Structure 1
Amino acid sequence: MRALLIGAVEGTRVALDAIANAPGWTLAAVASLPIERASRHSDFVDLAPGADAASAQLIRVTDGNSADFIEQVRAIAPDFTFVIGWSQLCGPALRQAVNDRVVGYHTAALPRLRGRATIPWTILLDEKITGSTLFRIDDGVDSGPILSQRFFHVAPDETAASLYSKHMAALGSMMIELLPALAVGAAVETPQDDRLATWAARRRPSDGWIDWTRAAADVDRLVRAVGRPYPGATTVSSTGPMTIWRTERFAGTDRYHALPGQVLDRDESTFVVRCGDGEALRVLEFSGAAIPPLHTHLRAAS
């Protein structure tokens, strides 16, 4: 079986390894972004080494629905196309060029959280259980029949990085199981129940600005949701803009009187900030500016 893989992130690399090592499969080509367009994905991965190791053709492309790319795809003549970690929808012309045999991947338990930024949204929504999904791409957005799905718990202290890692492990195991079934025509397609569908909107780096008038639990959840490999939660102090990567709840706030966003305490490497509910967070990891002075205020961008 000949496979075409389209994508530009860590999940694409996981799929690349699975296809390259699957008996009866040949990774004919990998389509990915040019290096100069890497900023399209905060978790961009250069797939050139993997494509080279698999003896697969590497195609650098910015528009997966362009006429030039579709002609290249027809020449490759894949039996299946895998679109994993690609920010563009697959248009009808592309799907027709590969006989509508297109498999997608989604970091959520479809039909829940169709759309964008699903790992941050999973944490922001305080989801208790989520899942990874392989599905057949159709005319909709993440709406095609499910081919494989893995469910797992979301920890109370889950971070974007730890949840991302869980999804990558699930994707790897799902690909290993699905590829033999696809090869012999035994893959089972389960239609999604649209009554259960929810949609996640796109998030931008500016959505990570911290509002210190929110409760401490909400601020901590934002920090965990938008941390690495994403741009991080941001604020501004008298020392300049800073990105906050890790926080923990601070005990003993009843002994301090301060306003939301005000620095209560500090040491050589950490500092404490009051939140809108009267609780406080100790900032354990940050970048971009020095520790703010005691009693100064942190704020969002003006």
Structure 2
Amino acid sequence: MRIIFMGTPEFAVASLDRIVKDGHEVAAVFTQPDRPKGRGYHLTPPPVKVMAQNYGIPVYQPTTLKDEETIQIIKDINPDCIVVVAYGRILPESVLNIPRLGCINVHASLLPKLRGAAPIQWSIINGETETGITTMFMAKGLDTGDMILKAKCDIGPDETFGELHDKLMVMGAETLSKTLTLLEQGKAPREKQDDSLATYAPMIDKNSTLIDWNKSAQEIHNLVRGLNPSPSAYTLFNGLKFKIISSKLHNTESDKTPGSVVSVSEEGFVIACGDGKTLLVKEVQAQGGKKMTAAAYANGHGVNDTTIFGQ
């Protein structure tokens, strides 16, 4: 099939690689513009652009898909199908209607659960034990199109966003490959989504990453692992931002004020939570500092059983 691929981050790279290796003609790749990154703010290309250039595929980086020039470029390429994987832009109806076989999206949740920009993070933050991949025909709404295929996977009790991301990235490529085969054969199923079952996974912002120690140990652990490795959950320590990189549920209870350190050991420090249970903090990063084990931080900065986080 003649395909336009639209995607931007690392999650989309495996899907692009797979459809090229499957023998499809990827006529063009659309991705987000290069962005400044790192301490030097060097202009950095998106991972999908790097992969496309390695394959010699023409790359387009428009700031919008709504202008006539971009729409005409897509029309001139005349794709059978447009594949969209974490592109980061909503496709207008004028683009959705161009390919004869439609626009196919790979979404990292079991739709209609977790529609939106950050389904992997929210599946963990919400304490889900199962998630997966859904491929769908794209429609005007946000992740509302008819579903084609689903693939399920378990979420481990200590699994992090990074780990689940990498697992779903591979699953997404595999599910897309099967979807395109069915599409090409004219056998792709269409299942309408039940909107009454829809939940949402909005973009992660600063408000989403702040730890509320009055919540249960399980809820806080879910937040920490759902934001690991990036952007990380954080609390306040002496009025400064203090990232909690990794944690583990601890099998002890405490009646201390939530956010209080209960004990410190070689494993890290144990903090009291709102439900009377405790959380073992294993890895941290102070504002302006490097990531380190919680035990090393405690030793160097006097964290002890009188310390209170969150203030």
Change (3 A) 1:251 1:191: closer
TM-score of the two chains, using structure 2 as the length reference: 0.85
The alpha carbon displacement at 1:100 in A equals 6.8
Paired letter, 2:124: I
Equivalent residues in 2 for 1:1-302 (5 A)?
1-23=1-23, 25-36=24-35, 45-99=46-100, 101-228=102-229, 230-238=230-238, 240-254=240-254, 258-267=256-265, 270-289=268-287, 290-291=297-298, 293-294=303-304, 295-299=306-310
Task: Tell me how many residue pairs correspond in the alignment.
Answer: 292
Change (3 A) 1:239 1:138: closer
Q: Is the 8 A contact 1:238 1:296 kept in 2?
A: no
The alpha carbon displacement at 1:219 in A equals 0.9
Paired letter, 1:26: E
Percent identical: 27
Q: Is the 8 A contact 1:237 1:296 kept in 2?
A: no
Q: Give distance in 1, aligned partners of 2:250 and 2:127.
A: 21
The alpha carbon displacement at 1:261 in A equals 1.0
Q: Give distance in 2, aligned partners of 1:84 and 1:103.
A: 9
Q: Deviations over 1:189-224 (max 9, x none)?
A: 222233433333343133110011112111111111
The alpha carbon displacement at 1:253 in A equals 4.3
Paired letter, 1:285: E
Change (3 A) 1:147 1:160: same
- RMSD across aligned C-alpha pairs, in angstroms? 2.4
Change (3 A) 1:284 1:35: same
Q: Give distance in 1, aligned partners of 2:273 and 2:34.
A: 41
Q: Give distance in 2, aligned partners of 1:163 and 1:108.
A: 11
The alpha carbon displacement at 1:102 in A equals 0.5
Q: Deviations over 1:36-82 (max 9, x none)?
A: 1679xxxx942233112322101122323333322221222211101
Q: Give distance in 2, aligned partners of 1:163 and 1:268.
A: 28
The answer for unaligned runs of 5 or more in structure 1 is none
Q: Aligned to 2:97, what secondary structure does the other structure show?
A: helix
Q: Aligned to 1:75, what secondary structure does the other structure show?
A: helix
The alpha carbon displacement at 1:113 in A equals 2.1
Q: Is the 8 A contact 2:244 2:283 kept in 1?
A: yes
Q: Is the 8 A contact 1:103 1:137 kept in 2?
A: yes
Q: Give distance in 2, aligned partners of 1:139 and 1:126.
A: 30
Q: Give distance in 1, aligned partners of 2:212 and 2:194.
A: 36
The answer for unaligned runs of 5 or more in structure 2 is 39-44, 288-296
Paired letter, 1:296: T
The alpha carbon displacement at 1:286 in A equals 1.4
Q: Is the 8 A contact 2:32 2:87 kept in 1?
A: no
Q: Give distance in 2, aligned partners of 1:175 and 1:249.
A: 36
Q: Aligned to 2:163, what secondary structure does the other structure show?
A: helix
Q: Deviations over 1:268-288 (max 9, x none)?
A: 773222212222222111123
Partner of 2:290: none
Q: Give distance in 2, aligned partners of 1:38 and 1:117.
A: 21
Q: Is the 8 A contact 1:124 1:225 kept in 2?
A: yes
Q: Deviations over 1:8-59 (max 9, x none)?
A: 1123211111111113x111111111221679xxxx9422331123221011
